[in-house]
Amino acid sequence: MALKERYLKVVAVISALALTYIVFSISVAYFNNPEVTKAGYYYYAYFAVVFYMLIICAAWLFMGNIVGGIFLGIAFLVAVFTLFVFHDWSFLANGIAFIFIGGLLCKFWNKEHVEEYAVKMKTDDINESTNTLIEEFNREKVLEESLDRKILRISKLREISKDIGVSLNNEELIKKVTKNTIQIIQKPGMYQLYLLGEDMKRLELRGMNVHRAKTAEFTYLEEDKLNQWVFRSRQSVHIADLHRDFRFGRKYESAARSLIASPLITGNRIMGILKISNEDPDIYSVDDLRILAIIANLSALAFYNSHLYETTTQLAIRDGLTGLYTAGFFRAKLPEIIDDCYTKKVPLSLIMLDIDDFKLFNDKHGHIVGDIILKNVSSQLQRLIGTKGLVARYGGEEFSVVLPGSDGETSQELISNICRTIASSEELIREENIKVTVSAGVAENTPSLKTSEGLIKAADDSLYKAKDMGKNRSILYKSKQ
C-alpha cells in the first residue's frame, strides 16, 4: 500500500507541474498574440484549470495538508492569472472553488487523521500497557520460580543436615555428601569432594560423581592450582569461564570451563574442598555458590564429628602405650572372626606371646625401660604380622594374635621367625645393649577347639610349655581328636 501511494504522489506532482506549465504557456501565448482567436486558447486554459482542481484533491489526499495547501495556492494564482489574461470571471470562480474544496479537504483530512491519530495513540497505549503487563508477569513468574527453587533448596538443606548429621562413618558420609549436593544443586557437571590426607597436608580426591555431564573426560588434579588457591585462601570461588579467567594460569590442566568450589571449614580447621565443574561456560550462578558454601559448612561439621567419633573409638579399643588393640576389644572380636572362618570353611590360628623375663627388666632398669621394651616389641610384632591378622596387647607383657585363614603349622612357622627376629635385635637403652626374647603358644581351631575360650586356653597352655622348655621358642598345641 505504501508503494502504491508513493507512485500516486509522484504522478500528482508531475501532473500538477505539467498543467501549471500548460496553463501559463497558453495564457502567455494568448497574451503575446491577442489577435489570435480566443476560443481555442480559452478552451484549453479553462479545462486545464478544472483538471487542476482534481490534481489538488489527489495531492491533498495523498500528500497531506502542507503539500495540498501549496498546490491550492498555486492553483488559485493560476486561476487569477488566467482571469487577467482572458478577462473571464469564471476563472476567478474556479479559484474560489479551489479554496472551498481545499477547506473541505483540509477539514476532512484533519478529521480522518485526528481520529486515526487518536486510534493510534490508544493502540500504542494498549500495546504499551500490554507489554508492561507481560513484562511484569514474566518478572513475577521468574521471581516466583526463583523463590520456589530457593524454598526447595532450603528444605533440601534441612534434609541434608539431618542426613549427614547422623552419619559417623567416614566412607558413608562421603557418599551422602556427593549425593545430596547433586540433589540440591541439580545442574550438570562433575561433583568432587577432596579431603585432607592423614598427613593433614595433601588433598585427596575421596568422592566423585557425574551428573548429566556431556562427558566424564576431565582432568582432576589433587594438587592443581585452583585447589591450592582455595586451600590457602580458605575462600569460595566462582568462575564463569576458565578461558577468560587467568588467576590459575593460562594452561589450566582441565577440560572444565565453568566451576564453583568451597572449602570445608570448621572453626579454624580446613578439612577439604567441595567442587563442581562443567566443560561449558556460564553454567553455575552466584546463588549456586552460596548453596554450595552452606553444604560445605554442614559437611565440614559432619566430617569433624566423624573424626572425633573415630578418634574416641580408637582410644577405647587401642592400648595407650603400644597402640595395639586392647584385650577387651580382642575378646569381643575373636568370636566374630571364628564364626566368619567357620562359615567360609577356612582355618584359623590363635597365638599367645609373652616377653621372657620381663619382670627382671623392670626390676633392674625400671618401669620406663620396661615401657620402651613393650613399645619396641609391639612395633616389631605389628610390622611382621602386618595385614595377616589382628594383634592385641592381652595384658602386661603378654600379646595375642589371631590369624584368619592360617593353619597351625603355618602360624607356628610365622611366629617362630618372629621370635628369631626379635631375639636377633638388640636395643640400646641408657648406653646398654639389651637383648629381648619372646615365647609363644599356637592353637588352631580344630573340631575340639570351636570356642574363643578354648582357643585362648590352648594357646596359653602352649605358651607356658614353651616357657618351661627354655623360652625364646614357639609351641603348637596338639589337640586330642
Does 115 score more than 60 pLDDT?
no
Confidence of residue 300 (pLDDT cuts 50, 70, 90): confident
Task: Report pLDDT digits (tens) over 142-194.
Answer: 555 555 566 666 666 667 767 676 667 788 888 888 888 888 888 888 899 99
Of 94 and 166, which is predicted with more confidence? 166
Mean pLDDT of all residues belonging to the chain: 77
pLDDT tens-digit map of 312-327: 777 778 888 898 999 9
Residue 389 pLDDT > 60: yes
pLDDT of residue 22: 62
pLDDT tens digit string along 262-278? 999 887 888 899 999 88
For the residues 245-254, what does the mean pLDDT come to?
A: 63
Q: In 186-298, which ranges are E strands?
A: 189-196, 203-211, 237-239, 258-266, 269-278
Q: What is the pLDDT of residues 411-469, one digit of tens each?
A: 999 999 999 999 988 776 666 778 899 999 999 988 888 888 999 999 999 999 999 99
Q: From CA 243, how far away is CA 205, in angstroms rounded?
A: 24
Most confidently modeled of 204-208, 330-334, 363-367?
Answer: 330-334
The dihedral of CA 99, 105, 111, 117: what is its sign?
A: negative
Tens of pLDDT, residue by residue over 449-464, are 888 899 999 999 999 9
Q: Are 232 and 263 in contact (CB under 8 A)?
A: no
Whether the model pTM is above 0.85: no
How many of the other CB atoms lie within 10 Å of CB of 91? Answer: 23
DSSP string, 288-349: HHHHHHHHHHHHHHHHHHHHHHHHHHHHHHB-TTT-SBPHHHHHHHHHHHHHHHHHHT--EE
**Per-residue pLDDT at 17 exceeds 90:** no
Do 247 and 229 form a contact (C-beta atoms < 8 A)? yes
* Whether the Cβ atoms of residue 400 and residue 330 lie closer than 8 Å to each other: yes
Asked if residues 276 and 236 have their Cβ atoms less than 8 Å apart, the reply is no
pLDDT of residue 219: 43
Q: Can you give the pLDDT at residue 465?
A: 94
Rg (CA), the chain: 53
